[in-house]
Amino acid sequence: MRRLPILGGVLVPNVTPMFEGGVLDLQGYAGVAKQLLDSPGVDGLFAIGASGEYVHLNPAKRRELMTVLGGLDRHGKVVVANAGGLLTAATLKLAEFAGKQGLDGVSVVLPTHVPDTREDILDYYREVGRVGVPFMVYRPSTVTTHGLTPELVECLLEIPTFVGLKDSSKDLELFAVLCARFGGQVSVIQGVEMLHLPALALGGAGVIGGGANVYPGLLKRLSVAFEAGDLERARKLQLAVIEAWAFLADSGHFRSLVKALWQDQGCATGTFSLCDGPVTVSAPELARARELLDLGE
């Protein structure tokens, strides 16, 4: 059995509603998170990740978001939040804070100051492990160092609070090895929704993809079709995922578009994105996003 069995399924890397200048829309953040957690297509949240613009969120802002998450009715669904990508001391304090808020765990991006050697990486994660809060290793696709290897994961298993990893490498051979060797102990999660179906076939525990902010129900139906052995339907749904994500990505301002959609749905006010900068979501873009909105049945 996996160390944290609920860490899997369709996990949404929820966006962070903001006002101009990066001021957090905490009411909007709560509204969007609640809507997602209430949705049948969602199995949990992967908060403060790349879709949530973690690179622009200091420890104080992350604590505010974690406090919001801790106060929500999660309906037994998993919620983890990224505490990494910061100085080590700040990450350790955030991990402890997340635990006190009742979150199920934290994800941890290795900060750039950690040397890219196996022993240095392990020493860093051992420090995180000593906090006592379940953690998962998170390597965003934009990070080109500190790669996940089977040898590293084998060593990470020595840390009792290591419960999973998100692989966004698009390397299915690596993903297959990780699932085969470690999938029975920790949650090996696919970080590229366009590879959700092949990842399921390899034994992946779930998927985390930016498009899940809009169409978690589509990803969930794909999972259900695969589990039922209906591969023809699963393949068609995977194609639909690929086409839907292409629209969001090709907009050039995915986060702003998602936030505009949630504003349109009455869940949030702040539509600004520090990653996107000042942009205007067009009426046709918003209309198409409405068509794609699928929270599950």
Can you name the residues that pair with 138 across neighbouring β-strands?
166
SS3 call for 185: coil
Q: Is the pLDDT of residue 286 over 90?
A: yes
What is the CB-side half-sphere exposure of residue 124 using CA atoms within 13 A? 25
Query: Residue 10: what are its φ and ψ, rounded to 5°?
Result: -90, 110
Q: What is the DSSP string of 138-186?
A: EE-TT--SS---HHHHHHHTTSTTEEEEEE-S--HHHHHHHHHHHTTTS
| pLDDT value, residue 139 | 80
| pLDDT value, residue 144 | 63
What does pLDDT average to over the chain?
A: 97
Confidence grade of residue 48 (pLDDT, cut at 50, 70, 90) = very high
Residue 122 buriedness (CB in 10 A; 0-12 / 13-18 / 19+): middle
> Which tens digit of pLDDT belongs to each residue from 254-282?
999 999 999 999 999 999 999 999 999 99
Confidence grade of residue 39 (pLDDT, cut at 50, 70, 90) = very high
Instruction: Domains for the chain: give ranges and CATH numbers.
Output: 9-292 (3.20.20.70)
Q: Is the pLDDT of residue 50 over 70?
A: yes
> Which tens digit of pLDDT belongs to each residue from 122-177?
999 999 999 999 999 988 776 666 778 999 999 999 999 999 999 999 999 999 99
CA distance 254 to 69: 23
Confidence grade of residue 40 (pLDDT, cut at 50, 70, 90) = very high
Average pLDDT for 40-50: 98
Q: Is the pLDDT of residue 55 over 90?
A: yes
| pLDDT value, residue 3 | 98
The answer to whether 202 and 176 are in contact (CB under 8 A) is yes
| pLDDT value, residue 147 | 79
Q: Is the pLDDT of residue 227 over 90?
A: yes
Give Cα separations from 268 to 25, 194, 260, 265 (angstroms).
Answer: 7, 28, 8, 8
Q: Is the pLDDT of residue 229 over 80?
A: yes
| pLDDT value, residue 208 | 98
Neighbours of 246 (CB within 10 A): 12
| pLDDT value, residue 145 | 66
Extract the tokens encoding 137. Answer: 């290793």
Q: Is the pLDDT of residue 65 over 70?
A: yes
| pLDDT value, residue 146 | 72
Average pLDDT for 77-106: 98
Neighbouring residues of 253: CB distance < 8 A, sequence distance ≥ 6: 273, 276, 279, 281
CA distance 66 to 100: 10
Q: Is the pLDDT of residue 1 over 70?
A: yes
Confidence grade of residue 45 (pLDDT, cut at 50, 70, 90) = very high
Confidence grade of residue 188 (pLDDT, cut at 50, 70, 90) = very high
Average pLDDT for 201-211: 98
Average pLDDT for 93-100: 99
Extract the tokens encoding 244. Answer: 């839907």
Give Cα separations from 184 to 67, 131, 224 (angstroms).
Answer: 32, 24, 20
CA distance 203 to 206: 9
